[in-house]
Structure 1
Amino acid sequence: MEEEYVDDVAEGESLTDEERDALEAADLDPEGVPEKQYSYRALLDEDIDESLADELRRRFSLPWSYESDGDLDRRSSEVRGLADSEREWIAVSGDEDWQSFDYETEDVDVVPREKPDERPYPKPTPVTAVTGVGPDDAEKLAEAGILSAERLATVNAFEVASALDLDVLHVRTWRHNARELLP
């Protein structure tokens, strides 16, 4: 049984006869395109028609160029819909050091940050502080993730009672008392 060749790089895409002929006429190996041996710029430099080079670039996800000398600056002026600041950013990102994290720190005053002594928000009120909720009730409520009076004050009494097999009137009373307890 003969195995069928599937190009992993191009997800089964293959070149048409016309594309193969154009690449061979430019002394380029057609099998090099799916393997990304050529960039869009290299295809243009070998006199491949711009529309064909563009089609191959898109279909096979070819890089724009393997050399960045001036290429990003040129592309930043050709891409539509960019603001001036975006064009400038693209143009300067052609330098190899554009993402460098090496910064001059001599002129920068570093202010050490201290950890706060207190929490920036108050501690939650224990559910046992709610009138009518004892330790056993608190354990049962904890099964549903209700660990604070603040949470108890916002629950749907019917859903909690159903989930925990409790009397809905008890849960409503606890919810009311939790609301009274909180500011």
Structure 2
Amino acid sequence: MNESLSLPGRPDIRPCSLSLTAVERAALKHQRPCCIWLTGLSGAGKSTLANLLELRLNGQGLHTFVLDGDNVRAGLCRDLGMGAEARKENMRRLAEVARLMVEAGLIVIVSAIAPFRAERAAARALFAEGEFLEVYVSTSLAVCAQRDPKGLYQAAREGRIRDFTGLDSPYEAPLNPDCEIDTETLGLACATDRLMALLLNK
């Protein structure tokens, strides 16, 4: 393997040029890898949709992996808090892992609140054209708070959780997502169909 130029400001780091390409890895799996990123408020239905989509894709013999925001925070990002800078770093790590998995030839489904447009744009910039699909799970704050599957909205209102997205921390909705799904008005089966159609069309 040949060594490439060092990173700007980091002469001690010299990424390798690998002989096997991302295209060749994907060819072994007979699929076109991509990252489909589900963003929305807590309780919107992102994790449920990610799980259902992966099951559908797996049933068709495709190679996938779900990167769930809470699962990643339990391991790779467990050292990070919930302030703005920590969330930015959480997004950076999540996006970099997703990029590596796409390079490995996988269809990666990310389920994460990802509240800030700038960080989502930075994540998209890591991927080639057509490899990153942003899905806005646009279920309203009122419905998400009513569902409150993890009891987080109640905890935030009682002051036991701070910097909670949608209450005392902002959520910046996507301006031009590749797909929008409101799980209040669209059933899970239909929503999964829509995600499958999105992948097939891209």
The answer, yes or no, to whether TM exceeds 0.5 is no
Give the TM-score taking structure 1 as reference length. 0.22
Give 1 or 2 for the bigger CA radius of gyration.
1
Structure number with greater CO (CA < 8 Å, separation at least 6) is 2
Give the TM-score taking structure 2 as reference length. 0.20
Greater share of strand: 2
